[in-house]
Amino acid sequence: MPVMLPTLKGRKINLRRVHKSDAESIYKHAGDEEISRYTFLPNPYRLDDAYRFIAVTHTALRAKKAFNFGIEYKEEKEIIGMISLEHVNFQHLFAETGYWLGRKYWSQGIAREALQLVLKFGFEQLKLNRIYARVMHPNIASARVLEKTGFKKEGIMRKSIWRGGTWMDLIWYAILKEEYKHIKADWK
């Protein structure tokens, strides 16, 4: 049976499946070294990378390994970033979230809104028990979004990533289902 990715409706954004027709938008926003600095997105980012990525999201969805949502800015009806639940484990009911957003859209609360939608999907529809995120230090914006959404810092994996001639620490954050249930009433 095909696995369907629902559209998750928010205020400024919707989260939805990405199609080949979104490749140009993804290419336009992802090709930024401010985005690749703390993610594994290639830099330079080519249009072909976007097409390949879109195909990978479809394969991973069929295998129920990852649920990748395009962040569609409602006003412009364009994909301006991505957010995912990946490494999904239906035995132990956990998944990892990861996200990026085109620079023009930063600091407007969009990542927080996207994370809230993904947590609702992960905990309420996929019935997960734990959602975690790994943040390269010092990605202050990402750490702030996670903390504001209710994630708790769990620890540091020291010198985990070799980047630009230096080692970077990875900070682990996670939120549990019971914490999500408790905190979601306070979300604006």
Task: Name the site residues for ligand COA (rule: CB under 6 A).
Answer: 35, 38-39, 98-101, 106-112, 133, 135, 139-142, 144-145
* CB closer to ligand COA, 94 vs 99: 99
In the complex, minimum distance from the CB of residue 132 to ligand COA, in angstroms, rounded to a whole number: 11
- The Cα–Cα gap between 183 and 181 comes to 6
- The Cα–Cα gap between 137 and 96 comes to 17
* CB closer to ligand COA, 102 vs 176: 102
In the complex, minimum distance from the CB of residue 175 to ligand COA, in angstroms, rounded to a whole number: 14
Contact 15, 76 (CB under 8 A): no
- The Cα–Cα gap between 34 and 15 comes to 22
* CB closer to ligand COA, 27 vs 106: 106
Name the residue whose CB lies closest to ligand COA: 111
In the complex, minimum distance from the CB of residue 33 to ligand COA, in angstroms, rounded to a whole number: 10
Contact 4, 59 (CB under 8 A): no
Q: Prior bond to 138 cis, omega within 30?
A: yes
